[in-house]
């Protein structure tokens, strides 16, 4: 099958898959489908010349990936202007084969490379924080107490352009050695999913407050 420029839009020597390359994808639709399904990401970076990984919420707006934290964070200060790598993963099932060697997992993953830049304009920063909140909890921002100037200053927002990335996806049944299919061993997939549970009210809520309708629109996975 001939690949179009859109199919390989994000493929570079750094982002291309070396192993199980048939599971790789470099188009934005596939990549964005993974990024948008899982808010938790892990950012690889260096601090004091040593490798480190920070788990944090991430969100996408257009062709940029964003994350936030405290303005006093050493980690975020180390990331600013530096090359980072952000990964996102969803586990979709255990894959049980007829040999231990061929056991696996079904998953969707994304890896994005880029140079982190800080969002410095207060209005732009507030807009990004609103986008994060609305992306997670649609309809909630306008119901909240307005964010203050002090809170905006205390929050750092960083981003990278999505220009160099890959997605990797495994789905389906186990792949065994041909001879093993004749063995009397059960094989198959145990699906798994990340699910939201019923909301639990804060005991400090004012009396009479009901769970708002907009919480019904929260989704994950």
Mapped onto helix, strand or coil, the DSSP state of residue 123 is helix
Burial of 102 (0-12, 13-18, 19+ CB in 10 A): middle
Answer whether 214's CB lies under 8 Å from 137's CB: yes
Please name each of the domains of the chain with its CATH number: 21-91+107-171 (2.30.110.10)
pLDDT value, residue 16 = 80
pLDDT value, residue 28 = 95
What is the maximal distance between C-alpha atoms in the chain?
68
pLDDT value, residue 111 = 96
Kindly give the confidence (pLDDT) of every residue in the chain, 221 residues in length, as a single tens digit, with 9 standing for 90 and above.
455 555 678 888 788 877 777 878 889 999 999 999 999 999 999 999 999 999 999 999 999 999 999 999 999 999 999 999 999 999 999 999 999 999 999 999 999 999 999 999 999 999 999 999 999 999 999 999 999 999 999 999 999 999 999 999 999 999 999 999 999 999 999 999 999 999 999 999 999 999 998 888 788 87
User: What burial letters (b/e) apply to 16-48, b meaning 16+ CB within 10 Å?
Assistant: ebeeeeeebbbbbebbbebbeebeebebbbeee
pLDDT value, residue 4 = 58
pLDDT value, residue 170 = 96
pLDDT value, residue 43 = 99
**Type and span of the H or E element at 79:** helix 74-79
Answer whether 69's CB lies under 8 Å from 76's CB: yes
pLDDT value, residue 24 = 80
**Type and span of the H or E element at 89:** strand 83-96
Other Cβ atoms closer than 10 A to 123: 8
Rounded Cα distance between 66 and 74, Å, is: 17
For residue 86, give both structure tokens.
Answer: 């952000």
Rounded Cα distance between 62 and 68, Å, is: 17
Answer whether 76's CB lies under 8 Å from 70's CB: yes
pLDDT value, residue 21 = 79
């Amino acid at each position: 099958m001939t690949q179009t420029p859109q199919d390989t839009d994000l493929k570079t020597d750094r982002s291309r898959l070396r192993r199980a390359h048939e599971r790789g994808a470099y188009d934005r639709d596939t990549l964005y489908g993974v990024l948008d399904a899982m808010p938790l990401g892990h950012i690889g970076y260096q601090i004091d010349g040593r490798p480190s990984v920070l788990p944090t919420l991430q969100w996408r707006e257009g062709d940029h990936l964003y994350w936030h934290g405290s303005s006093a964070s050493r980690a975020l200060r180390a990331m600013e202007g530096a090359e980072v790598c952000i990964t996102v993963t969803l586990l979709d099932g255990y894959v049980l084969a007829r040999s231990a060697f061929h056991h696996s997992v079904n998953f969707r993953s994304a890896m994005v490379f880029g140079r982190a830049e800080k969002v410095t304009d207060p209005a732009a920063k507030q807009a990004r924080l609103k986008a994060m909140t609305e992306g997670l909890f649609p309809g909630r921002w306008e119901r909240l107490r307005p964010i203050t100037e002090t809170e905006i200053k205390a929050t750092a927002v960083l981003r990278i352009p999505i220009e160099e990335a890959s997605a990797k996806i495994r789905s389906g049944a186990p792949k065994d050695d041909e001879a093993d299919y004749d063995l009397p061993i059960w094989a198959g997939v145990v699906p798994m999913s990340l699910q939201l549970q019923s909301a639990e009210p804060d005991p400090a809520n004012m009396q009479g407050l009901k769970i708002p309708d907009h919480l019904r629109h929260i989704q994950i996975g």
